[in-house]
């Protein structure tokens, strides 16, 4: 008898065979495309640290929203970059704020595109923190009032899903109660449940001008060393009423995605963050990596680890390759 009997290479010999036994696949339906919105008209500025990504004004956003929907991508997540910032981030919960207007415009022009909004005040605060600052500390419970108002005004503008990314304790319950009381019991919450204090958000902070003006985010975002704590965060968010739970970043945290998958039957989202995107872009530009292959391999890995949904700046490029 020839050795070995088990030859795993048998099923790897031809494309057809490989396709037949492929365990994981990526579909456009799994993707959510993040977009940055600025004030003005006809503005479309490339973000230096995120080649191929733009800050655009609402008139151009609605054009692009049509293209995105046409590509088969079901959803976008919107980040507002306001002209006006203050201590409480009040332009973030103004019914006529940048995101609120952007949501109305997209829902008016491309009603079937699912619009997710990021609920967090850091892009709107002068100090750049995700919470109200008192005596140099980020205070939890007062921040919840801002988050409630922000989520409510997003829902009133027509947001299909609100996504709190601040990491304050109790925010999911606070937002759920607020939405229910305001007549939005059917608006789902996608909670950034396990959000780590990561260096991989740096290009985003450059894009959104939201770097903290003092200190860092370690008193509210999670310690990258902690896996059990991530499951506690996820459990709490589910208890408080989350409909989808998110792990962020994605590729350096595949073990957390896999642990979340084993832990809950809720849909799991993973955010392939700005730094993950920009690393691949930079390496490809230097000819050190094949951009398309690196993109598809990382998205597939995130899916294989257990994510149902992936927020990714590669959404449009990936869908074009899937065709
Ligand atoms: C907070 C928020 C951030 C990101 C998404 N929501 C920034 C942060 O926590 O500093 C980062 C996304 C990315 O890096 O792509 N509003």
Average pLDDT of the residues in 124-151: 96
Q: What is the pLDDT of residues 86-113, one digit of tens each?
A: 999 999 999 999 999 999 999 999 999 9
Determine which one of 63, 85, 107, 195 is catalytic.
195
Q: With cut-offs at 50, 70 and 90, classify the pLDDT of residue 2.
A: confident
Tell me the best of 52, 120, 197 to mutate to test the pocket of ligand 1, counting ligand atoms within 8 Å of each CB and taking the most.
120
Residue 246 has pLDDT above 80, yes or no: yes
**To the nearest whole number, what is the mean pLDDT of the chain?**
97
Q: What is the pLDDT of residues 205-218, one digit of tens each?
A: 989 988 999 999 99
Residues in CB range of 85: below 8 A, 6 or more apart = 91, 124, 125, 126
Q: How many angstroms is it from 118 CA to the middle of ligand 1? A: 9
Q: How many angstroms is it from 16 CA to the middle of ligand 1? A: 40
pLDDT for the residue numbered 323: 74
Protein fold of 25-322: TIM Barrel (3.20.20)
Q: With cut-offs at 50, 70 and 90, classify the pLDDT of residue 52.
A: very high
Q: Is the beta carbon of 165 within 6 A of some atom in ligand 1?
A: yes
Q: With cut-offs at 50, 70 and 90, classify the pLDDT of residue 1.
A: low
Which sequence spans correspond to the domains of the chain?
25-322
Atom of ligand 1 nearest to the CA of 204: 14
Q: Is the beta carbon of 273 within 6 A of some atom in ligand 1?
A: yes
Residue 39 has pLDDT above 70, yes or no: yes
- DSSP collapsed to 3 states, the chain: CCCCCCCHHHHHCCHHHHHHCCCCCCCHHHEEEEEEEECCCCCEEECCCCCCCEEEEHHHHHHHHHHHHHCCCCEEEEEEECCCCECCCHHHCCCCCHHHHHHHHHHHHCCCCEEEEEECCCCCECCCCCCEEECCEEEHHHHHHHHHHHHHHHHHHCCCEEEECCCCCCHHHHHHHHHHHCCCCCCCEEEEEEEECCHHHHHHHHHHCCCCCCCCCCCCCECCCCCHHHHHHHHHHHHCCCCEEEEECCHHHHHHHHHHHHHCCCCEEEEECHHHHHHHHHHHHCCCCCHHHHHHHHHHHHHHHCCCEEEECCHHHHHHHHC
201 touches 274 (CB < 8 A): yes
Atom of ligand 1 nearest to the CA of 166: 1
Query: How many whole angstroms separate alpha carbon 118 and alpha carbon 288?
Result: 34
Query: How many whole angstroms separate alpha carbon 241 and alpha carbon 189?
Result: 8
Q: Is the peptide bond before 6 cis (omega within 30 degrees of 0)?
A: no
The owner of tokens 């750049």 is 128
Question: Percentage of residues in the chain with pLDDT exceeding 90?
Answer: 98
From the list 65, 71, 61, 29, the residue with the least C-alpha distance to 269 is 29
Residue 184 has pLDDT above 90, yes or no: yes
Residue 35 has pLDDT above 90, yes or no: yes
Query: How many whole angstroms separate alpha carbon 295 and alpha carbon 219?
Result: 32
Residue nearest to atom 16 of ligand 1 (CA): 120
Q: Is the beta carbon of 166 within 6 A of some atom in ligand 1?
A: no
Atom of ligand 1 nearest to the CA of 200: 14
Q: What is the pLDDT of residues 5-22, one digit of tens each?
A: 999 999 999 999 999 999
Q: How many angstroms is it from 25 CA to the middle of ligand 1? A: 27
Average pLDDT of the residues in 248-254: 98
Residues in CB range of 184: below 8 A, 6 or more apart = 152, 155, 156
Query: Residue positions in the annotated binding site for 5-aminolevulinate?
Result: 205, 217, 274, 313
Structure tokens at 85: 């910032």
Query: Is 63 an active-site residue?
Result: no
Tell me the best of 117, 143, 204, 313 to mutate to test the pocket of ligand 1, counting ligand atoms within 8 Å of each CB and taking the most.
204
Q: With cut-offs at 50, 70 and 90, classify the pLDDT of residue 114.
A: very high
Question: Percentage of residues in the chain with pLDDT exceeding 70?
Answer: 100
Q: With cut-offs at 50, 70 and 90, classify the pLDDT of residue 315.
A: very high
Q: Rg of the chain's alpha carbons, rounded to an integer?
A: 20
Residue nearest to atom 14 of ligand 1 (CA): 201
Q: How many angstroms is it from 79 CA to the middle of ligand 1? A: 9
Query: Is 85 an active-site residue?
Result: no
Residue 154 has pLDDT above 80, yes or no: yes
Query: How many whole angstroms separate alpha carbon 252 and alpha carbon 160?
Result: 29
Chain centroid offset of residue 181 CA? 26
């Amino acid at each position: 008898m020839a050795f070995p009997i088990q030859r795993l290479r048998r099923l790897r010999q031809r494309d057809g065979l490989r396709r037949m036994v492929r365990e994981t696949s990526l579909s456009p339906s799994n993707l959510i495309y993040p977009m940055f919105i600025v004030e003005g008209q006809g503005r479309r500025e490339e973000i230096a640290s995120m080649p191929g990504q733009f800050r655009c004004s609402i008139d151009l956003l609605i054009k692009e929203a049509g293209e995105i929907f046409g590509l088969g991508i079901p959803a976008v997540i919107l980040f507002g970059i306001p002209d006006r910032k203050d201590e409480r981030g009040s332009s973030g919960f103004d019914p006529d704020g940048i995101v609120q207007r952007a949501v109305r415009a997209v829902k008016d022009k491309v009603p079937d595109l699912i619009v997710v909004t990021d609920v967090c005040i850091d892009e709107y605060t002068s100090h750049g923190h995700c919470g109200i600052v008192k005596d140099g500390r980020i205070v939890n419970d007062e921040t919840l009032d801002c988050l409630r108002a922000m989520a409510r005004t997003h829902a009133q503008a027509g947001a299909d899903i609100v996504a709190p990314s601040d990491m304050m304790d109790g925010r999911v319950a606070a937002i759920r109660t607020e939405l229910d009381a305001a007549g939005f019991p059917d608006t789902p919450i996608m909670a950034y449940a396990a959000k780590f204090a990561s260096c991989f958000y740096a290009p985003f902070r450059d894009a959104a001008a939201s770097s903290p003006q003092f200190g860092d985010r370690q008193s509210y975002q999670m310690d990258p060393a902690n896996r059990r704590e991530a499951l506690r965060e996820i459990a709490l968010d589910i208890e408080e009423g989350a409909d989808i739970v998110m792990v962020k970043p994605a590729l350096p945290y595949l073990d957390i995605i896999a642990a979340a998958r084993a832990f809950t039957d809720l849909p799991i989202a993973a955010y392939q963050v700005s730094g993950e995107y920009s690393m691949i872009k930079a390496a490809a530009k230097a000819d050190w990596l094949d951009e398309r292959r690196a993109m598809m391999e990382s998205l597939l890995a995130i899916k294989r680890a257990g994510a149902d949904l992936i927020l990714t700046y590669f959404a449009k490029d990936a869908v074009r390759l899937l065709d």
